[in-house]
């Protein structure tokens, strides 16, 4: 996503592939649910440094963008918080004296799902503009599909 595409998104609404978080000085805890949801559904952009006020977006910036970016991507890559490594694409945008960070979180393959943090109960899916905790049936379905994909791979 280039800067003009980001501005265009900020003139629209949050939806299944786009979520904003203030993240002015730290990573919001709700970011982990969004990372899980994007990984388990169709992928999407998570934007730090933007405040949502009703239907309007305000660019507030991130105070220490290098630290926020490193902390966020390290957690997604290190395999400690999440059950699988999440590869993320990072971008930085400058708006006058404010920095906005954008992270593209891709959808995982069927055999890698579910993606959760800390425990399977923290498996999320994206529905419209929000992150929803996956039901036990949805989690079981992810595991079944994953095991069938592995068995098909072994037979090839």
7-38 pLDDT, tens digit per residue, is 888 888 778 899 999 999 999 999 999 999 99
- Rounded Cα distance, 117 and 34, in Å: 11
- Rounded CA-CA distance 86/32 in Å is 11
Both structure tokens of 61: 């910036």
**CA–CA separation, 131 vs 155, rounded Å?**
36
pLDDT of residue 146: 81
What is residue 69's predicted lDDT score, i.e. its pLDDT? 97
Residue 97, pLDDT > 80, answer: yes
What percent of the chain is helix, strand and coil (3-state, nearest 5)?
35, 30, 35
| Residue 99 pLDDT greater than 60, yes or no | yes
Is 81's pLDDT higher than 90? yes
> CB within 8 A of 147, min separation 6: which ones?
none
């Amino acid at each position: 996503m280039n800067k003009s595409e980001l501005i265009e998104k900020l003139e629209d609404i949050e939806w299944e592939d786009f979520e904003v978080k203030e993240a002015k000085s730290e990573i919001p805890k709700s970011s982990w649910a969004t990372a899980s949801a994007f990984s388990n559904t169709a992928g999407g952009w998570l934007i730090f440094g933007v405040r949502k006020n009703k239907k309007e977006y305000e660019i507030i910036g991130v105070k220490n963008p290098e630290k926020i970016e490193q902390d966020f991507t390290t957690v997604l890559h290190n395999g400690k918080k999440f059950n699988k490594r999440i590869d993320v694409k990072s971008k930085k945008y400058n708006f006058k004296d404010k920095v906005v960070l954008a992270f593209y979180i891709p959808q995982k393959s069927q055999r890698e799902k579910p993606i959760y943090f800390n425990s399977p109960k923290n498996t999320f899916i994206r529905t419209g503009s929000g992150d929803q905790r996956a039901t036990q049936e949805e989690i079981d379905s992810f595991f079944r599909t994953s095991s069938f994909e592995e068995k098909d791979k072994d037979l090839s």
